[in-house]
């Protein structure tokens, strides 16, 4: 299944479902946090057609053809506003893609080893290069994002990675998510290292990049259908500011957060200015 978009109004979402049903294409609606109703395409072979129709629908949802379709399929619709609540495992798989799931598995596995007493070998292998001979160990510029130092740290990062990374991968593909991961891990890592040294780790910088990417792309090119709820943005920005005060004595990689956000916004700005890629037939 392919996640198409999240809409705040279930009746609006149902109107599009009915319209596509009149064209023989099945779309499913599922409720998500913050009052969002996600549309999922059952058969990805129709993705190009559905995305084109969705763009037209969002531009003018009050068009007569949509209300006419709702009347047409009203009698045959068996589940009126019946929003499924899938199992946790199914929901995780549906929201994410292969790359976002793979990163979550790797991150959790590394943290499990960390808890089993392998902190020193893990950090020695994965930390950002100290620039004393290990700068040629290229994996270090990215592997620092995979290590976490507490349960709260990994839960927070994996949750946002799943929400934002999964959304990007479902919308734009694994290649785009990989690009954002590598670019933001590199930029946020350098920023944190040059100001505070190599003793840091975690997906936080990448997570802020994901937020910045979706935020700016949704702001500058809303027709692309990739958006983030405003409360998410407000929370992440507030936490970014609070982090500089290091509450409760917490050691926070603030430069990684800040420059991760900047790198994601920059990629979002660039992609918003580019014409959307056309899928090859």
Active site residues: 204, 257
Asked if 200 and 256 touch (Cβ cutoff 8 Å), the reply is yes
Torsion sign across C-alpha atoms 201, 202, 204, 209: positive
Tokens representing 50 are: 């559905």
Which structure tokens are listed for 232? 């998410």
With a CB cutoff of 8 Å and minimum separation 6, the contacts of 209 are 180, 183, 184, 187, 188, 260, 261, 263, 264, 267
Tokens of 31: 């409720």
CA dihedral 75, 67, 61, 280 (to 10 degrees): 60
Q: Which of 207, 229, 223, 156 is nearest to 6 (CA)?
A: 229
């Amino acid at each position: 299944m392919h996640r198409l978009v999240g809409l705040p109004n279930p009746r609006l979402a149902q109107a599009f479902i009915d319209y596509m049903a009149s064209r023989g294409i099945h779309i499913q609606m599922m409720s998500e946090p913050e009052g969002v109703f996600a549309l999922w395409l059952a058969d990805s072979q129709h993705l190009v057609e559905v995305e084109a129709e969705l763009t037209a629908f969002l531009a003018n949802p009050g068009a007569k053809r949509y209300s006419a379709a709702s009347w047409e399929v009203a009698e045959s619709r068996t589940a009126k506003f019946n929003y499924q609540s899938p199992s946790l495992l199914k929901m995780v798989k549906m929201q994410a893609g292969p790359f976002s799931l793979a990163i979550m598995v790797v991150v959790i596995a590394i943290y499990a080893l960390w808890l089993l007493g392998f902190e020193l070998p893990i950090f020695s292998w994965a930390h950002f290069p100290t620039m004393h001979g290990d700068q040629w160990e290229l994996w270090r510029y990215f592997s620092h994002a995979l290590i976490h130092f507490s349960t709260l740290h990994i839960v927070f990062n994996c949750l946002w990675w799943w929400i934002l990374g999964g959304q990007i991968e479902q919308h734009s593909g694994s290649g785009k998510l990989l690009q954002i991961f590598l670019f933001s891990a590199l930029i946020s890592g350098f920023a944190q290292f040059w100001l505070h040294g190599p003793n840091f780790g975690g997906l936080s910088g990448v997570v802020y990049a994901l937020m910045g990417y979706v935020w700016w792309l949704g702001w500058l090119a809303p027709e692309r259908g990739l958006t983030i709820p405003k409360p998410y943005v407000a929370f992440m920005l507030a936490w970014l500011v609070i982090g500089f005060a290091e509450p409760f004595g917490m050691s926070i990689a603030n430069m990684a957060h800040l420059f991760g956000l900047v790198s994601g916004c920059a990629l979002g700005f660039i992609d918003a200015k580019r014409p959307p890629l056309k899928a090859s037939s």
